[in-house]
Structure 1
Amino acid sequence: MTHDHDLVLRPTPQQTAAALDPPAGRNGGDLVIETLTGLGADTVFGLPGQHALGMFDALRRSGLTYIGLRVENNAGFAADAYGRITGQATPLLLSTGPGALTSLAALQEAAAASAPVLAISSQIPSAGLGGGRHGFLHELRDQKASFRDIVKSVHTVRAASQIPSAIAAAWESALTAPHGPVWVEIPQDVLLAETTLPVVTAMDATPHDLVPRPELTAVAAHLLQNAERPAIIAGGGVVRADASGKLRALAEKLDAPVVTTFGGKGAFPWEHPLSMQSWLEDRHTTDLLEDADVLLVVGSGLGELSSNYHTFAPRGRVVQIEADLGKLESNHACLGIHADARIALAALLETVEGASPVSEGPRGSGGPSGAERVATLLAKVRERIAGQELTLEQEVLAAVREALPDDSPSFWDMTILAYWAWSAFDARHPNTMHSAQGAGGLGYGFPAAIGAAAADRTKPVLAVSGDGGAMYSIAELATARQYNLPVTWLIVDDGGYGILREYMTDAFGEATATELSRPDFVALAESFGVPAVRTTTESLREDLTKALAQPGPSVVVLPALLRMFAPTHL
């Protein structure tokens, strides 16, 4: 008897002929690049290094696009953004020791934000592995141990024949929900050794679907359709799963107000009558969520920022849909559904629609509708913000929103304007606003924007940094110029680490170590061949619009001392 899988596994005569006569001059590095190509990669990021030269030489013989950054951490941020924008596992090629370790902060952000980065690092020669005494350049006693606590999975290669399977396994891991960074390391001698193995063709590395258990879907649907005051918290998992349409349909079916977390910006339309927007650092928002008799949390672990600094204490039933098993019930008791957000929302929407409600829900209870509850909430939020005399900050954020095309992605560093944007910026499409709020490191905005621009050169990309964060990635002006990427970098120059200045002043009465000497950013950008302009709050919208409209990279510098709005936890 002939089975279907026998037909799939049997090579064609052409495949057999090619396998028996592989091209000469190939090495382990070629197997890496061929495997990535076979898996569907089209662009790789990274920096070369002595032990990794076998991989980089193989790039020359491939059709892959290479984007080389100037610092490994920045290359990691760029790969992170490419993965967020495309949903593809994004290769990050690194060298051994210092080169590898310099990427750690970027991989931490990728892990916190569930970005599918496929980091492939070289290693010292095989003879020195595990010893820590051979004195090889860049040697670490156990390199992978530095990454095991950060990435989803670690894969070590010891022979050329292991390369395709190890990379395919890592690829599958990176793209199985929840997405995340993975680590592969290959010794220098394995990368350089000549190989007679056949050319790697199409690889199978299909991620697993994370499907909700039907009995949990049934209970969740029953709770939600009979709720009098339902509400929804939409996190980054909704964006990553491309589930915003299903979220909207379910919210409208339930008449449930929706708030998006800072990582979930754009998951729900900002101006929708049921949109609470993103005012999570606000007690009025917290009150509404606590008052919900059934709260649906989708794609969020309700961590520090999403729970108003852990002051949120729900009084009703909580249903949590989360792909990361470790986040289920990690902060609040709930009906936990371990599933991909898109699949779970589809199942929930279908089940709610097919059920017979026991009661008429909010519309039959005599209470206010979801839209009325939202309108009351937003009026309170606007009144609170208006009482803090922060007109300048709101005007600056509005100017950025007016200048940026609706479908253009933006990437925000950890700076005061970004903190405002988390709560107050209208991300008009899903997957268009990203920040480093997952891990909270500095230097994310500009290199991440470079990665997004490499993913899609047809639309401008905005990066936003403070002057302190900008200095982390100033070298990448050379990268943006070299590849002529359409990235506009807005640098808000307040002379130091502005948010830390505020924190320290509030806590201790004065700030220490927050004031910075900095360059003339306009002259510095121009020295890289990047057009730059110094703007004012009055001309920001016009100058930013012009910069975004011109081809290639550009810089807009705004000298301004912005203040943060006062959050309310109590």
Structure 2
Amino acid sequence: MTHDHDLVLRPTAAQTEAALNPPPGRTGGDLVVETLAGLGATTVFGLPGQHALAVFDALRRSSLRYVGLRMENNAGFAADAYGRITGEAAPLLLSTGPGALTSLAALHEAAAASAPVLAISSQVPTAGLGGGRRGYLHELPDQAASFRGVVKSVHQARTASQIPSAIEAAWKSALTVPHGPVWVEIPQDVLLAPTSIPVVTGGDAFPDELPPRPELTALAADLLSRAERPAIIAGGGVVRADASGKLRQLAERLDAPVVTTPGGKGAFPWTHPLSLQSWLEDRHTTDFLEDADVLLVVGSGLGELSSNYHTFKPRGRVVQIEADLGKLESNHPALGIHADARLALQALLETVQTRQDETAPDRVRDLLAKVADRIAAQDLTLEQEVLASVRRALPSDSPSFWDMTILAYWAWSAFDAKGPNRLHSAQGAGGLGYAFPAALGAAVADPTRPVLAVSGDGGALYSAAELATARQHDLNVTWLIVDDGGYGILREYMTDSFGAAAGTELTRPDYVALAKSFGVPGVRTSPDTLAADLAKALSDPGPSVVVLPTVLRMFAPTHTGTGDGR
């Protein structure tokens, strides 16, 4: 009797010949590049550094496309976006010490947003490992320790033969739900050393599935079927799992209103009769969700933004589907289902009973009318017109990437993404400088559509060097910079809380002239001409910059806490 695990794939004659006669001149760096190609990678991001040069030398002998950015953190943001757009693990090549550490903020965002990034870092030679002080350039007593609290998993290769397996394990980890960044570390001497190991020609790193427990989905289906006022909160897990279609089927079967979190933008059609849109930072919406007798939360941990700054207090039964075990019931007691959103929604669709509620669309319209009336009473016409201009200018199938700026805060609530996986922001971890380098990564992933980046002038200063990257690779990214003379949201928070702002005003460059100095077209616009100027920039091939000098305001909060703006 033969069992599946007894089967061994025998190499072909050609594979045997190739294994017995590997090409000369290969090093540990070649094993890194060959393993990535064997796993299916086509593009890598990063920056070279002294200890990692063997990997970059190996890139010359490979078919992988290398996209180099000007700062490791920005390279991490680009890889993050590439992973979000493609659903693939995005390789990020880094050096040791300062170069590696500079990527930490980007990896933090990737972890918070469940973006699959495969960071591969060099390390000092093996003689310098073990916590001693050998005085190597870039030496840290324990480099991997700096990343363990940020990334999903850490993998270390200390010999050439360990490299393919370490990278393959990391690849699998990055793509197993919840997706996330992973870290691989290889010493310089291992990367430089000649190797006679056969060429890596393939890889088997299919991610593990995370199906729901059937007894839990049976109970959840029963609760939802018998509910009088069910409602659904859809988070980023729905987008990452490509489960938007199943979410819509379930909502329609239950006649359950749906609200999407900032990370879940586009997971449910904006104009659907059951769409509560994304007004989570609104007391009317919070009250509506609190009134649900059964609340289904899919792919969200109900964190600070998704819970209206933790003022949300559900009164009914909560059912939470979440792939990240640490987020399950972390904020509210629930029937917790640890599962991939797609598989869990499919299980519910197979067992839930159809319920009809003719009042649901009316209740949705009433809620949205209350929200609109509240905003209309705050004299925020400029802000709404600017956001509407962006929406008019941006093609419906184009992705957009938003920095932590006032216009992005508006977009979380009020922007129609026109579909899943099209609006991305740094709201996961909240770091500045995300939008432009992330948009560059998205343009690399899909050069057929123009990509929009939106920053304030403060965030733009984090990323200005990447204008060189945009020009070098001729990427179709339009960068909208809202120039209000400083850190606008922090200025507003401080003024509201303390009566005056400190440390928020900035001397900044002429962004149009700066863009042109990189060979990137730039234009200064106004709220009246924004839609036309932005549409033209997006339609022209290659990179461009549109600068909007204006001061925007946030809508008045309806919660008791305050965010930190970063």
Sequence identity, in percent? 81
Structure-2 separation of matches of 1:85 and 1:566: 33
SS of aligned partner of 2:232: strand
Aligned counterpart, 2:151: 151
2:503 is aligned with 1:513: yes
Deviation at 1:104, TM superposition (A): 0.2
Q: Give deviations 1:492-530, integer Å, cap 9, x for gaps.
A: 000000000000000000000000000000000000000
Q: Give deviations 1:267-296, integer Å, cap 9, x for gaps.
A: 000000000000001000000100000000
Q: 1:3 to 1:335 in 2, by over 3 A?
A: closer
2:240 is aligned with 1:240: yes
2:333 is aligned with 1:330: no
SS of aligned partner of 1:183: strand
Q: 1:23 to 1:5 in 2, by over 3 A?
A: farther
Deviation at 1:74, TM superposition (A): 0.1
Q: Give deviations 1:352-399, integer Å, cap 9, x for gaps.
A: 15xxx7xxx563xxxx62111100100000000000000000000000
Aligned counterpart, 2:228: 228
SS of aligned partner of 2:479: strand
Deviation at 1:132, TM superposition (A): 3.4
Q: Give deviations 1:380-432, integer Å, cap 9, x for gaps.
A: 00000000000000000000000000000000000000000000000001100
Aligned counterpart, 2:445: 455
Structure-2 separation of matches of 1:406 and 1:351: 35
Structure-2 separation of matches of 1:461 and 1:114: 21
Aligned counterpart, 1:484: 474
Structure-2 separation of matches of 1:409 and 1:419: 17
CA contact (8 A) 1:259 1:277 kept: yes
User: Aligned AA for 1:125?
Assistant: P
Structure-2 separation of matches of 1:26 and 1:114: 35
Structure-1 separation of matches of 2:130 and 2:256: 56
SS of aligned partner of 1:251: helix
SS of aligned partner of 1:474: helix
SS of aligned partner of 1:162: helix
Unmatched 5+ stretches in structure 1? none
2:249 is aligned with 1:259: no
Give 2:491's match in structure 1, choosing from 501, 504, 509. Answer: 501
CA contact (8 A) 1:280 1:286 kept: yes
Off by >2 Å, runs of 4+ in structure 1: 1-9
Aligned counterpart, 1:526: 516
Aligned counterpart, 2:377: 387
Aligned counterpart, 1:204: 204
SS of aligned partner of 1:286: helix
User: Aligned AA for 2:287?
Assistant: D
- Pairwise mapping of residues 107-122 of structure 1 onto structure 2 (< 5 A)? 107-122=107-122
Structure-2 separation of matches of 1:48 and 1:83: 21
TM-score normalised per structure 1: 0.97
- Pairwise mapping of residues 305-454 of structure 1 onto structure 2 (< 5 A)? 305-353=305-353, 363=357, 369-454=359-444
TM-score normalised per structure 2: 0.98
Give 1:553's match in structure 2, choosing from 543, 548, 553. Answer: 543
Structure-2 separation of matches of 1:459 and 1:327: 34
Q: Give deviations 1:238-266, integer Å, cap 9, x for gaps.
A: 00000000000000000000000000000
2:311 is aligned with 1:281: no
State how many pairs are aligned.
560
User: Aligned AA for 2:277?
Assistant: Q
Structure-2 separation of matches of 1:132 and 1:178: 36
Structure-2 separation of matches of 1:470 and 1:132: 40
Deviation at 1:2, TM superposition (A): 5.6
- Pairwise mapping of residues 79-90 of structure 1 onto structure 2 (< 5 A)? 79-90=79-90
Structure-1 separation of matches of 2:222 and 2:3: 44
Aligned counterpart, 2:37: 37
Structure-1 separation of matches of 2:147 and 2:284: 41
Aligned counterpart, 1:302: 302
2:561 is aligned with 1:566: no
Structure-2 separation of matches of 1:457 and 1:32: 26
Structure-1 separation of matches of 2:385 and 2:132: 57
User: Cα RMSD over matched residues?
Assistant: 1.0
